[in-house]
Amino acid sequence: DGGITQSPKYLFRKEGQNVTLSCEQNLNHDAMYWYRQDPGQGLRLIYYSQIVNDFQKGDIAEGYSVSREKKESFPLTVTSAQKNPTAFYLCASRVQGISNQPQHFGDGTRLSIL
Amino acid sequence: AQSVSQHNHHVILSEAASLELGCNYSYGGTVNLFWYVQYPGQHLQLLLKYFSGDPLVKGIKGFEAEFIKSKFSFNLRKPSVQWSDTAEYFCAVNGGATNKLIFGTGTLLAVQP
């Protein structure tokens, strides 16, 4: 079955550490997205990529970095510069260039600070 | 800039009650509108979408939504809710040439048996 796989499901980080969240999709989608979900704030866009080797900042990119070396993969690094990293992180993908196509979501990674 | 407002943050209903969740957006051009649902412990799933044609769209599990262009609204409705509808519901809009989806803050629905 096609889908989006996020790993790990739970992640713990010490202060000052960088951590990388994995997102892999086998839907052959060009566009991929990272969101952060906090209670009462909905989903906020961190970064997105519409094609391999290219990505754009979303609304809350500070303290995060991404790469898009392969179509299937869009890892997110939460750096030590992110002051409040505890959140639920969601990865999504969709068909590029057709705006009425919905985004498909992974199961998410819950990041906590120790 | 595009934005989405969901005015109901928490809704508590009894089974068989009717449901209407409000969603308003700000964007003057052509929009694509979506409702997503997140059941406890599960990933976000598409409930329904509107991009053109009949402004009353039907989705899964008996949900429907009506696009009212003059009111910039896309309210979600269900005539009779069930306990299994307990979830968080997100309205989202994608307008113009952008591929970005803007989400509302979500509405947490609790249905009491």
Amino acid at residue number B44: L
pLDDT of residue B111: 97
Strands (E), A60-108: 64-66, 76-78, 87-94, 104-105
Residue A16 is given by DSSP the state T
A105/B43 Cβ within 8 A? yes
Chain A residue numbers touching B103 (CB-CB < 8 A)? 35, 42-44
d(CA B29, CA A82): 35
Nearest to A103 among B101, B105, B106 (CB): B101
Q: Among the listed ranges A63-72, A90-99, B67-76, which one has the minimum average pLDDT value?
A: A90-99
Chain B residue with Cα closest to A95: B99
Rg (C-alpha) for chain B, rounded Å, is: 14
Q: Is the pLDDT of residue B95 over 80?
A: no
B76, B63 contact by CB (below 8 A): yes
Q: Is the pLDDT of residue B64 over 70?
A: yes
> Does B3 touch chain A if contact means CB atoms closer than 8 Å?
no
By CB neighbour count within 10 A (0-12 exposed, 13-18 middle, 19+ buried), where does B86 fall?
Answer: middle
Whole-Å CA distances, A4 to A57, A79, A101: 21, 23, 16
Per-residue pLDDT, averaged over A52-68, amounts to 95
Q: Is the pLDDT of residue B6 over 60?
A: yes
Q: What is the mean pLDDT of chain B?
A: 91
Q: How far is B2 from chain A (nearest CA, A)?
A: 12
Work out how many CB contacts closer than 8 A connect A with B: 53
Q: Longest C-alpha distance within chain B, in Å?
A: 44
Residue B69 is given by DSSP the state G
Nearest to A102 among B34, B52, B105 (CB): B34
pLDDT of residue A1: 62
Q: Is the pLDDT of residue B33 over 90?
A: yes
In which band, very low, low, confident or very high, does the pLDDT at A77 lie, cut at 50, 70 and 90?
very high
Q: What is the mean pLDDT of chain A?
A: 92
Phi-psi domain of B62 (left: phi exceeds 0; alpha: psi -120 through 50; beta: other): left
